[in-house]
Amino acid sequence: MADINKVVLAYSGGLDTSVIVRWLQEHYGCEVVTFTADIGQGEEVSPARAKAEALGVREIYIDDLREEFARDFVFPMFRANTVYEGEYLLGTSIARPLIAKRLIEIANETGADAISHGATGKGNDQVRFELGAYALKPGIRVIAPWREWDLGSRESLMAYCREHDIPVDFASQKKKSPYSMDANLLHISYEGGVLEDPWTECEEDMWRWSVSPEAAPDTPTYLELSYRGGDIVAIDGEALTPAQVIERLNAVGGANGIGRLDIVENRYVGMKSRGCYETPGGTIMLRAHRAIESLTLDREVAHLKDELMPRYAELIYNGYWWSPERQMLQAAIDQSQAHVNGVVRLKLYKGNVIVVGRQSATDSLFDEHIATFEEDAGAYDQGDAEGFIKLNALRLRIAAGKGRGLGGS
């Protein structure tokens, strides 16, 4: 332990990471550098500076990473229409590679020997942080206190604070949410408490960003999303940055009861976990992006993307954002988006995202002259379909002629 002189800690200013600061100082006898990121979690991050200073921390980083998070992580992921296990929009997973990246950057700037995080030994986040860190700096040391110490509950953490002179507002700690929560620009996740019984319905007052679909307005809300290169660049004609896009969609989606999810997922570490997720903006983005792609992508490109997506989603969920295979897939996905330009019109109503229009003045592959059910003035010869059908039926006819038809062996 003596060879650890300085550690960069992902620091929230909360109970867990405040304990980790003191524990690192005492257990490893090292200097601690704290890093606090604003990635749109909706909480003021500036108090983290005073809290870190009270713990004797001299090097304190507080970074606004909202635009980088949206531009370089969330938007690329949504170009792939990414969904894990059919439902989860990966709101927690996609934030971890950015945090790992910044931890390593700060370690390089400060000459730190190691990084540290507050992820527990039961979850996926420990894997995501550390895989990213090792990919970006192979020789870095990683300290995961939850895998080393014997503090296993909130009560034991609070007792540690009393014993080790850690300034914590104990009254506020007793009033904390009964759920383990993680929030960023893309989503809020909820775990623990009554959610540990997969049969128990979550409580209505748990949700922070959305009204229930039943309580949503009786009048629908219409939106127009403008796309360039597969990314949303404007809402209702107003140009917005990536972070502003997500913030705006979160607000309007939440107001219309959109984005709630309750699932049991398969963690990479081997266990099943029940979690609830609130992703209003992401839910809208997924539906709208598929709509503009339906108009502008070649059929086989679209189908290949759909085949690649589950593997891409699994890589992100499991923590392999910085892997060569994810970068390879990303290159293919990004190349497919060159012609994904246009506008999608949506109707939001009581938890539903309904596509009611899509258009592209420059890149639409929809040809109304061919697709029409009316007279097409010779644009398409329906007789051509016969040869197409016979060619594709040839192998079936051969097999049937050899006794391998329906019911054959």
What end-to-end distance do the CA atoms of the chain give, in Å? 67
To the query of whether residue 150 is one of the catalytic residues in this protein, the response is no
Instruction: Give me Rg for the CA atoms of the chain.
Output: 25
Tell me the C-alpha to C-alpha distance, in Å, between residue 384 and each of 211, 300, 374: 53, 21, 18
- Residue 285's closest CA among 93, 86, 83? 83
Catalytic residue among 96, 248, 260, 358: 96
- Residue 94's closest CA among 372, 282, 275, 328? 282
Note whether 2 and 29 are within 8 A (CB). Answer: yes
Angle between helices 299-318 and 324-336 (to 10 degrees): 150
In a 10 Å sphere around its CB, with 0-12 CB exposed, 13-18 middle and 19+ buried, how is residue 288 labelled?
A: buried
| Nearest-angstrom CA–CA distance, 344 and 288 | 6
Catalytic residue among 49, 72, 141, 180: 180
To the query of whether residue 125 is one of the catalytic residues in this protein, the response is yes
| Nearest-angstrom CA–CA distance, 107 and 114 | 7
Q: How crowded is residue 297: how many other Cβ atoms within 10 Å of its Cβ? A: 21
To the query of whether residue 231 is one of the catalytic residues in this protein, the response is no
Name the residue type at position 60: I
CB proximity list for 218: less than 8 A, separation 6 or greater: none
Catalytic residue among 38, 66, 116, 125: 125
Which positions are catalytic?
A: 16, 96, 125, 180
